């Protein structure tokens, strides 16, 4: 048996027929939100105007959108494939509420993978290998650091390994790379009045991502609150991944002499760095906090997100 799985092969009891569900916890509140907002269907998006818009783009504009899409597509597939060890770890600790929330997380990442593949199939319509867009910085994070940190949980579900996994997945891949990428993508398309179906999908997807990041912040915070030595693990993991994360942004802009859609490198490099700082400061607040305080801080950010 892998050590992330429950240590016993029988159930001693069931949470829902003894204590009941703790609905006031942040993971259950995120689960409620996911049931309301996370059930949009990529198959329902209307890409008809997007197809018209795509055909009118210049070769360079098409190339840049394809480049960005190839990063999103592989990224969504990676997060879909790599979340399972975390579900197993959380389930193994008997955290039913967190496991219930994480079922929506996995479903949503699968939907995002579906969404970008629909864009490629229905709007772009070309079956080409896009992996040449994946530079060493991108590979260092999405091909290597992410699966390494997540699969580690299968043999080592310790709190330190959980912090490394969640920092890599939720803070860097989602909190820095995806947030910056979707911001750039939406800016490029909306500023130029292009591709309404794709924009709608990305806006919905960003809502899902904000719940994912809120869960990650909550997980890392409760681990750091329980053991302050884990702050160093979190900070070190963040810092190790900062250079390749900023490298991903630099590589996109470095690939083109003039960037179309009015995209400006410094705007997005600054945005990525601001996301990084914001996440780091946010999880640092968990140091010395009680679990009740962690719940309250997470609840406040879930509410802010509602606004």
The site for Fe ion (CB under 5 A) is made up of 174, 209, 212
- Total of residues contacting Mn ion (CB under 5 A): 2
Residue (of 216, 226, 229) closest to 280 by Cα position: 216
Nearer CB in complex with Mn ion: 92/175: 175
Nearer CB in complex with Mn ion: 48/103: 103
Contact 94, 25 (CB under 8 A): no
Taking the complex as a whole, how short is the minimal distance between the CB of residue 174 and Fe ion, in angstroms? 5
Interface positions, 258-297, toward Mn ion (CB under 5 A): none
Residue 198 CA: distances (Å) to CA of 43, 174, 186, 278: 12, 19, 9, 28
Nearer CB in complex with Mn ion: 198/286: 198
Interface positions, 115-144, toward Mn ion (CB under 5 A): none
Using Cβ positions, the residue closest to Fe ion within the complex turns out to be 212
Taking the complex as a whole, how short is the minimal distance between the CB of residue 212 and Fe ion, in angstroms? 4
Site string for Mn ion, 17-46 (x = CB under 5 A): ------------------------------
Nearer CB in complex with Fe ion: 47/215: 215
Taking the complex as a whole, how short is the minimal distance between the CB of residue 80 and Fe ion, in angstroms? 9
Taking the complex as a whole, how short is the minimal distance between the CB of residue 289 and Mn ion, in angstroms? 28
Site string for Mn ion, 72-111 (x = CB under 5 A): -------------------------------------x--
Nearer CB in complex with Fe ion: 75/231: 75
Q: For residue 290, what are the contacts with CB-CB under 8 A and spacing of at least 6? A: 225
Taking the complex as a whole, how short is the minimal distance between the CB of residue 79 and Mn ion, in angstroms? 6
Nearer CB in complex with Mn ion: 40/231: 40
Residue 204 and residue 235: Cα distance in Å, rounded? Answer: 30
Taking the complex as a whole, how short is the minimal distance between the CB of residue 216 and Fe ion, in angstroms? 9
Using Cβ positions, the residue closest to Mn ion within the complex turns out to be 112
Which one of 29, 33, 95, 112 is in contact with Mn ion (CB under 5 A)?
Answer: 112
Contact 260, 64 (CB under 8 A): yes
Taking the complex as a whole, how short is the minimal distance between the CB of residue 132 and Mn ion, in angstroms? 23
Binding site for Mn ion (CB under 5 A): 109, 112
């Amino acid at each position: 048996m892998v050590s992330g799985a429950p240590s016993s092969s029988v159930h001693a009891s069931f949470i829902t027929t003894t204590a009941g569900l703790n609905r006031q916890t942040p993971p259950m509140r995120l689960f409620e939100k996911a049931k309301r907002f996370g059930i949009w269907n990529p198959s329902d998006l209307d890409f008809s105007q997007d197809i018209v818009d795509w055909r009118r783009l210049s070769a360079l504009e098409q190339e840049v959108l394809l480049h960005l899409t190839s990063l999103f597509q592989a990224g969504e597939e990676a997060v879909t494939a790599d979340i399972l060890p975390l579900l197993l770890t959380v389930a193994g600790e008997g955290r039913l509420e967190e496991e219930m929330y994480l079922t929506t997380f996995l479903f949503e990442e699968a939907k995002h993978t579906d969404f970008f593949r629909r864009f490629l199939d229905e709007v772009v319509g070309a079956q080409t290998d896009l992996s040449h867009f994946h530079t060493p910085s991108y590979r260092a994070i999405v091909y290597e650091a992410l699966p390494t940190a997540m699969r580690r949980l299968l043999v080592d579900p310790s709190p330190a390994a959980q912090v490394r996994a969640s920092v890599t997945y939720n803070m860097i891949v989602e909190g820095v790379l995806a947030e910056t990428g979707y911001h750039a993508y939406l800016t490029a398309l909306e500023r130029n009045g292009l591709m309404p179906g794709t924009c709608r999908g990305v806006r919905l997807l960003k809502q899902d991502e904000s719940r994912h990041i809120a869960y990650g912040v909550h997980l890392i915070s409760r681990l750091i609150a329980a053991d302050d030595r884990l702050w160093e693990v979190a900070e070190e993991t963040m810092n190790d991944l900062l250079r390749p994360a900023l490298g991903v942004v630099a590589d996109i802009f470095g690939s083109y002499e003039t960037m179309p859609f009015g995209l400006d490198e410094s705007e997005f490099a600054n945005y990525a760095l601001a996301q990084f700082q914001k996440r780091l400061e946010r999880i640092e607040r968990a140091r010395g906090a009680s679990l009740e305080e962690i719940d309250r801080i997470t609840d406040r950010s879930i509410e802010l997100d509602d606004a």
